[in-house]
Homo-oligomer: A and B are copies of this chain.
Amino acid sequence: MRRFLLLAAAGAALSFAAAAHADPVRATAEGLRDKALAGSGAWEIVESLTTEIGGRPTGSPAMERAKDWGVAKLKALGFENVHVEPFVKQNAWLRGPESASVTLPYPHKLSILGLGNSVATPAAGIEAEIVVFDSLNDMLAAPAGSLSGKIAVVNQPMVRTQTGEGYGAAVRARSGASEAARRGAVAYLTRSISTGDSNQPHTGAMQYADGVAKIPTAALGVPDADLLARLYKRGKPVKVKLNLASTVIAQAPAWNIVGEIKGREKPDEVIVIGGHLDSWDPAEGAIDDGAGVAITTAAAKLIGDLPQRPRRTIRVVMWGSEETGGAGEAYAEAHKNEVAKMVLAGESDLGGGRLFKVDLPKGAAADPAMAALPSILAPLKIVVTREAARFAGSDVEGLEALGVPVASLYNDASHYFDLHHSADDTLDKVDRGDLDQNVAAWAALLYLAAESDVDFRNPRAAAKK
C-alpha cells in the first residue's frame, strides 16, 4: 500500500511538473514540491542520525555526539551560519537499571520503563500490594489514606485519533504519582500512554506536585497493565516489586543547533523551523523526532539548492531538549530581541506520517501571497484551512508567546502513539514516501513565505475579484 502510494505520488509529480504555472513564484514552489516527491533526502538524514547516534537524551554523551552530528550535517548540506547555541538544562534525568515483577500470586516479569523525573526506589526495591484503577479519575475519587502502603496502578487506555488528540486526555495519567502519594501510595504505575497493543512500555516525562512526597513511578506495557487489572479483579492480593534507579545532572550542558539559508534581500527577516534533536533513550528516536529534524532540514536544503535564494532567511533549528523541556524556552530567551523580525515559526514533531492539514496564522490563508498554497498542496492530499494556527510544537511555544506567528502542519498521527517513547521508535517505522510528502509541503509553504513580503501578523485581505 505504501509502495502504491509512492508510485502514485511519483506519477502525479510528472503531471504537476507538466502543468507548471505561469506565475514564477508558484512555479518554483511547485518545482520544489515535485523535486521532494522524487526523493527529498530526508530519509537519508534520519537514517544517518538513527544509525550513527542512536537514542540521545538531553544530558547524555549521545546528545553531545548528536550536537556534533547536527553541525556536521548542516554544513555538509550547504547551510550557512551553522552554529551551536549552548544552554543549561536543569536536572537532566538519565535512566539507570530498572525492573519490576509480580511476586504474588505467581512470579511474572513486568515490562516497564521508569518515567522521566521519577525518583529512584531504595536499592532493595519496593514491594507492595497493588490497587488497580480503570482510569485516573477513578483513582482521584479514592479517599485520602485509601492507598496507604500500596502501589497504585492506573490502567487507562488512550484513544486513537488522526491528530493524536487522544494523547492530551491520556497523558495526565503519566503524572499521577503525586495524587497517588496524597492517598498514601508508595509507588505509582501507569499503563503506557499508547494506542498500541505491544508490551513495549512507553516512557515520557512526569511532574511531581509541590509539597507532596515524591514516589517512584513507571509505565507498564499495555498487556502487562491489563494483566494486573485482571489479576486484581480476582479479588485476592496481588503484589508487585519495583526497582528503579536514575541519575540527575543538576546543570547539564545542552545545545540548540542552527543553520540558515540566508535571504537574498531581507536576510534579517527570518522564518524559524525545525525539529528536536534529543530523544528518549529506549530506541533510536526515529519518529520522535529524527523525522521532524529530517523533514525540516531537507525542506530548507531544497530551497537552498535553488538557483537563487528567496528574499527572506529560512533558519533551521535542531532543538536540544524537548522531551524534558528547556530548549524552546532557552531559544526564546536568547532571541527575544529578534522576535519582531521573525516572520513565522513552526516545528515538525508528530512523526513522519503524511500531512493532511495546514493551519496558517489568523487570516493568512486569504493573503494573496499564500493564495496558491491550497492548489499546490491539493495533489499531496493536504487541505489548507481557514483556522488560525495555535499550537505549532513545544519548541516554538516560547516564540509564539512572544508574538511570533506560527503555522501548524498536521501529520496523520493515527499510528504515531503506537511507537512514541518506546523501544519501537526505530528507523524501519519511517517511510520514505511519507517523509517526501512532508518535505514537499514544507518546502512549498516555506518558499511562498520566504519569497513574498507577507506579514503574518497583519495579513492582507483576499484580492477583490
Contact = CB atoms under 8 A, between A and B. Distances in A.
A335 interface: no
B223 A108 contact: no
Given A47-B230, A198-B200, A283-B223, A106 B424 contact: no
A199 B283 contact: yes
Interface stretch (A269-277, A425-433, A442-450): A425-433
A50 B50 CA distance: 37
Interface string A408-452: 000000000000000110111100000000000000000000000
A41 interface: no
Interface string A214-252: 000000011110110011001000000000000000000
A162 interface: no
A199 B197 CA distance: 13
Interface stretch (A51-59, A304-312, A343-351, A379-387): A51-59
A423 B226 contact: no
Contact of A54 (B108, B200, B221): B108
Interface of A: 47, 50-55, 61-62, 65, 105-106, 108-109, 111, 197-200, 221-224, 226-227, 230-231, 234, 282-284, 423-424, 426-429
Most buried by B among A51, A234, A427: A51
A1 to B, nearest CB: 13
A2 to B, nearest CB: 12
Contacts of A427: 223, 226-227, 230
Contacts of A222: 428
Given A54-B108, A106-B53, A223 B284 contact: yes
